[in-house]
Amino acid sequence: MTEQDAKRGPDSAEPAPAPYGAAIDLLTVPFAGAPIFTRARALRPTGKVLPEHARSHNRALVLQTLYTAGAQSRADVARETGLTRVTISDLVADLIAEGLVIELGQREDARPGKPAILIDVDRAAFQIIGVDLSEHQRFLGAVIDLDGGIVSRAEVDRAGATGERAVDLVIELVRGMLASTTTPVLGIGVGSPGVVDPLGVVRSAPNLGWTDVALQARLANEFSLPVHVANDANVAVLAEHGASQLDDLLLVKIGHGVGAGLIIGGRPVIGGGFAAGEIGHVVVGTDGGPRCACGKHGCLEVWLAVPRLTARLDAIDPESPDAASARDDILHEAGRRLGIVLAPVVGALNLAEVVLSGPAELLDGALHEATVETLRNRTMAEHNRDLRLRMTAQAQDIVLRGAAVMVLSGQLGVA
Amino acid sequence: MTEQDAKRGPDSAEPAPAPYGAAIDLLTVPFAGAPIFTRARALRPTGKVLPEHARSHNRALVLQTLYTAGAQSRADVARETGLTRVTISDLVADLIAEGLVIELGQREDARPGKPAILIDVDRAAFQIIGVDLSEHQRFLGAVIDLDGGIVSRAEVDRAGATGERAVDLVIELVRGMLASTTTPVLGIGVGSPGVVDPLGVVRSAPNLGWTDVALQARLANEFSLPVHVANDANVAVLAEHGASQLDDLLLVKIGHGVGAGLIIGGRPVIGGGFAAGEIGHVVVGTDGGPRCACGKHGCLEVWLAVPRLTARLDAIDPESPDAASARDDILHEAGRRLGIVLAPVVGALNLAEVVLSGPAELLDGALHEATVETLRNRTMAEHNRDLRLRMTAQAQDIVLRGAAVMVLSGQLGVA
DNA sequence: TCATGTTTGTTAGTAAAGCTTACGAACAAA
DNA sequence: TTTGTTCGTAAGCTTTACTAACAAACATGA
């Protein structure tokens, strides 16, 4: 415990309730003569805003500016944020005192005026624990630095563990990684399959035999660190969002199952029942299809889940002269089915970007092409001309890095 | 002009740019020991927050509290908002000075302590002009009070007018309504078909022959009042949102065309190309279908648009013994097609509520039933158990009232 | 070489916003 | 009549970010 104490992030003494209670996440700016649209329309105000909330926001803004733009002077930050140099100096002093920001010495390049002192987020000050529970056979973990770089990896064989035993495995995995950290830990981020509510309770994850497992509370209690838990696909899209900077984004994660993560207007979509993105069991098309484990016929998963796809591909006789085209046909059909399901979503949300995550050898070819073609044929070209469908650049680590983004965002307001 | 001056809402001297420029619409509350979820996760801060922004927000909060809960004392508002009585008194003094709030005299009921002075939004102080351009043959308008009640109506026959002539018709319609207002006007709200950007430029509305028509600017210039313009379905969903209080909502508006409006996490969805909700030309199913004006086969509109539906129904021989069942078949098929398109959207967004707007005699029967049945059969029952599909309660006036909500929200931060 | 201009970061003082504390007014209940 | 409660307001405090001013440290050009 004392060892963990030393590794704690700032302000994380206990996983206490939010200091501002039900305080607010938005400011409306009403009463202007002309319409105001920063992103959406003016919004219903949902709680009071005190000066200290503004301070919190501005501090996060400074951190965000440094985080994305890198080392620069206080004056640079002032210009970029619109706050004054005085205010920035004050905020930066706080951040330095907390160990989040460091001075790097004078700027080298020669220009008139007093030379600037460069400051930056101390990217070596904290590490983050990322956990990916979405694979079928094993749980993955990583120690991740503030830049999203993976410092070290760990994994445990799931060996079919479910229920309480699976929870113990997660705890064991995290404990091992905490022992290997070389700095204080900012927090723990977990991407879990299934439906996860905003408090980090896994409402339902059939593969793991979990029903109403309070994973966030369990881990927070065990390690006395900030913990964030969310659905694996919803976590994955955070990683992609950090990379793409686009504010509307759909990520389809194809693995043992098929799930999606959505960001709209820069905000993750959770869903009324916390089940946003669960498109694996939406029926595709009007021509039936193979029977799914859920009882329906023609669910997206029966066309697209990796086990189903590989089984179908393995059934091809590799000696056959048509083997290559048979393979393409199977992948083409899978891609078409994905396009059919995505078309209404892309149309309704007028999405600019759809990202695929999963085995590139399956997705990044005939399947990808068929999905694009189907989307183009089934939506209004005029509105969705700019739509891009691409493979993720994050490969296997997308959930781990997304988990880090979740912690960064939750603890520092940075991503 | 002097007459209009008298009718102006507060702070609407000129349609000037927003006083706070690119100021901010959200506050993050980072750095808490435990995850903070008001609605979504912590967010990237996107701009500075000054004390006056907090003041604006809190003022809107007071207004919102009074608007929804009705007449009450300053102390009541203080308890409800969490601000102190002192601060509430100060804010209310401002609001009274601006004519937005009035004192109603002492509370009647007998209880201990000094009797409270009731205050309320002065619901008779301002009126709103709502305009609905979504009908094919005519433009509708209404003078609407702050409660959303329709004070008077107006309409002009479109007579096929397009382009500049159609703009002139809108101006004429608004001018007539302004002449009939009996109070200052808070603003003008317009629901237009087509793609409308956040600045109120109608990027494209084929029916009206509009391309890049700066309707907001034109009207603001003409009348020197705050003007808000948005897509008709996106406007309609605002009316429904005001009524339902749910934070995730999809409204499907079926008329001459088919469009949708979306609210997710309490925020209207605009879309990357400002074309969110344009589902009319998404292809339904995998079995082809009638040819659409857009060139594709089996678009949602060919199954569901009112002209198509009525044409198909009119083709039934009313004398035939099967007339009733033939009618049901047609409506059932239309509903099924709607369900097929909605299923992926409902699944991906985990929507709690879908609302239908359009001719009740067509929608509120076999069609509605078929849509519900199809949605249930094609999505995961477990996740979408609570899904409700219902007819709007707003009938014909949904766009007009939504336009009023848009103005209320934009000008007062209230809805 | 030296005066001039520029840029940085800090100090001092000010304005705005909401808080705490305190108080008089007005009432119900004992 | 006394006591306790509630309301609205006043006075003063704290926090926050702002403006104004300045010293330090550099480049540039006469």
| pLDDT score at B285 | 80
B36 Cα to chain A: minimum distance (Å): 6
Q: Tell if the CB–CB gap between A352 and B273 is shorter than 8 Å.
A: yes
Question: Which candidate, A24, A219, A96, A235, places its Cα nearest to that of B34?
Answer: A219
Residues lying close to strand D (Cβ under 7 A), chosen from 303-332 of chain A, are none
Give the domain B2-121 fold.
Answer: Arc Repressor Mutant, subunit A (1.10.10)
Separation between Cα atoms, residue A389 and residue B267, nearest integer Å: 26
Residue B246 — pLDDT band, cuts 50, 70, 90? Answer: confident
Arithmetic mean of pLDDT, B191-204: 96
Give the domain A245-394 fold.
Answer: Nucleotidyltransferase; domain 5 (3.30.420)
pLDDT digits (tens, 9 = 90+) for A284-339: 988 888 899 888 999 999 999 999 999 999 999 888 888 889 999 999 999 999 99
**Which residue of chain B has the CA closest to A353?**
B272
B319 Cα to chain A: minimum distance (Å): 33
Residue B210 is encoded by which pair of tokens? 């509009």
Per-residue pLDDT at B25 exceeds 70:
no
Please tell me whether any atom of strand C lies within 7 Å of the Cβ of B112.
yes
Greatest extent of chain A over all pairs of C-alpha atoms, in Å:
75
A362 Cα to chain B: minimum distance (Å): 23
pLDDT digits (tens, 9 = 90+) for A265-279: 999 999 999 999 999
Question: Which candidate, B1, B14, B8, places its Cα nearest to that of B184?
Answer: B8
- Nucleotide minimizing C1' to CA distance for residue A89: C9
Residue A43 — pLDDT band, cuts 50, 70, 90? Answer: low
Per-residue pLDDT at A87 exceeds 70:
yes
Mean pLDDT across chain A, nearest whole number? 87
- Contact residues for B157 (Cβ-Cβ < 8 A; gap 6+): B137, B138
Domain boundaries, chain A: 2-121, 127-237+398-412, 245-394
CA angle B305, B307, B311 (to 5 degrees): 120
| pLDDT score at B34 | 22
Fold match, A127-237+398-412 / A245-394: yes
CA A192 to chain CA centroid, Å, is 12
B229, exposed or middle or buried, with CB in 10 Å at 0-12, 13-18, 19+?
A: buried
Q: Tell if the CB–CB gap between A56 and B30 is shorter than 8 Å.
A: yes
Do residues A250 and A262 touch, judged by C-beta distance below 8 A?
yes
pLDDT digits (tens, 9 = 90+) for B325-384: 999 999 999 999 999 999 999 999 999 999 999 999 999 999 999 999 999 999 988 777
Q: Tell if the CB–CB gap between A200 and B341 is shorter than 8 Å.
A: no
pLDDT digits (tens, 9 = 90+) for B255-305: 999 999 999 999 999 999 999 999 999 999 888 889 998 889 999 999 999
Per-residue pLDDT at B32 exceeds 50:
no
Separation between Cα atoms, residue B323 and residue A340, nearest integer Å: 34
| pLDDT score at A35 | 23
Residue B299 is encoded by which pair of tokens? 């678009």
- Contact residues for B127 (Cβ-Cβ < 8 A; gap 6+): B143, B144, B145, B146, B151, B181, B182, B183, B184, B185, B186
Listed range (B68-72, B219-223, B317-321, B355-359) with the worst mean pLDDT: B317-321
Is B415 at the interface with chain A, CB within 8 A? Answer: yes
Q: Tell if the CB–CB gap between B248 and A47 is shorter than 8 Å.
A: no
B288 Cα to chain A: minimum distance (Å): 10
**Cβ contacts (< 8 Å) between A280 and chain B: which residues?**
380
Please tell me whether any atom of strand C lies within 7 Å of the Cβ of A89.
yes
Tokens 């509708």 correspond to: B140
Please tell me whether any atom of strand D lies within 7 Å of the Cβ of B112.
yes
**Cβ contacts (< 8 Å) between B29 and chain A: which residues?**
18, 20, 23-25, 53, 56-57
- Among B44, B282, B371, B412, the residue to mutate for chain A (most A Cβ within 10 A): B44
Do residues B79 and A48 touch, judged by C-beta distance below 8 A?
no
Is B86 at the interface with chain A, CB within 8 A? Answer: no
| pLDDT score at A377 | 92
| pLDDT score at B110 | 74
Please tell me whether any atom of strand C lies within 7 Å of the Cβ of A115.
yes
- Among A36, A52, A374, the residue to mutate for chain B (most B Cβ within 10 A): A36
**CA nearest to nucleotide C10 C1': residue:** A86
Residue A11 is encoded by which pair of tokens? 């302000």
A341 Cα to chain B: minimum distance (Å): 6
Question: Which candidate, B386, B354, B126, places its Cα nearest to that of B240?
Answer: B354
- Nucleotide minimizing C1' to CA distance for residue B54: C17
| pLDDT score at B330 | 95
Could you give the percent of chain B with pLDDT greater than 70? 89
Listed range (A338-352, B45-59, B386-400) with the worst mean pLDDT: B45-59
CB atoms within 10 A of CB A289: 18
Please tell me whether any atom of strand C lies within 7 Å of the Cβ of A21.
no
| pLDDT score at B71 | 94
Separation between Cα atoms, residue A10 and residue A407, nearest integer Å: 13
Per-residue pLDDT at A396 exceeds 80:
yes
Spanning CA of B12 to C1' of C21, the rounded length in angstroms is 39
Q: Which of A41, A61, A411 is facing B409, going by the closest CB pair?
A: A41
**Cβ contacts (< 8 Å) between A294 and chain B: which residues?**
380
DSSP assignment of B148-190: S-EEEEEEEE-TT--HHHHHHHHHHHHHHHHHH-SS-EEEEEE
Please tell me whether any atom of strand D lies within 7 Å of the Cβ of B24.
no
| pLDDT score at B7 | 39
Sequence-ordered strand ranges (E) for B339-396? 353-357, 388-391
Chain C positions with any atom < 7 A from a protein CB = 5-13, 16-22, 24-29
Is A64 at the interface with chain B, CB within 8 A? Answer: yes
Q: Tell if the CB–CB gap between B272 and A350 is shorter than 8 Å.
A: yes
Is A295 at the interface with chain B, CB within 8 A? Answer: no
How many residues appear in chain B? 415
Listed range (A184-188, A192-196, A242-246, B103-107) with the worst mean pLDDT: A242-246
Give the domain B245-395 fold.
Answer: Nucleotidyltransferase; domain 5 (3.30.420)
**Which residue of chain A has the CA closest to B54?**
A49
Homologous superfamily of domain range B127-237+398-412: ATPase, nucleotide binding domain (3.30.420.40)
**Cβ contacts (< 8 Å) between B341 and chain A: which residues?**
344
Spanning CA of A89 to C1' of D6, the rounded length in angstroms is 46
Please tell me whether any atom of strand C lies within 7 Å of the Cβ of B114.
yes
Is A197 at the interface with chain B, CB within 8 A? Answer: no
Per-residue pLDDT at B36 exceeds 60:
no
Q: Tell if the CB–CB gap between A413 and B42 is shorter than 8 Å.
A: yes
Provide the CB-side half-sphere exposure for B118 (13 A, CA).
13
Listed range (A144-153, B229-238, B293-302) with the worst mean pLDDT: B293-302
Do residues A326 and A360 touch, judged by C-beta distance below 8 A?
no
Spanning CA of A57 to C1' of C6, the rounded length in angstroms is 32
Q: Which of residues 236-255 of B touch A (CB under 8 A)?
A: 246-248, 250
Do residues B415 and B65 touch, judged by C-beta distance below 8 A?
no
Q: Which of B30, B198, B382 is facing A413, going by the closest CB pair?
A: B30
Interhelix angle A51-69/A398-412, nearest 10 degrees: 140
Spanning CA of B21 to C1' of D18, the rounded length in angstroms is 17
Residue B47 — pLDDT band, cuts 50, 70, 90? Answer: confident
Per-residue pLDDT at A142 exceeds 50:
yes
Arithmetic mean of pLDDT, B165-186: 97
Is B25 at the interface with chain A, CB within 8 A? Answer: yes
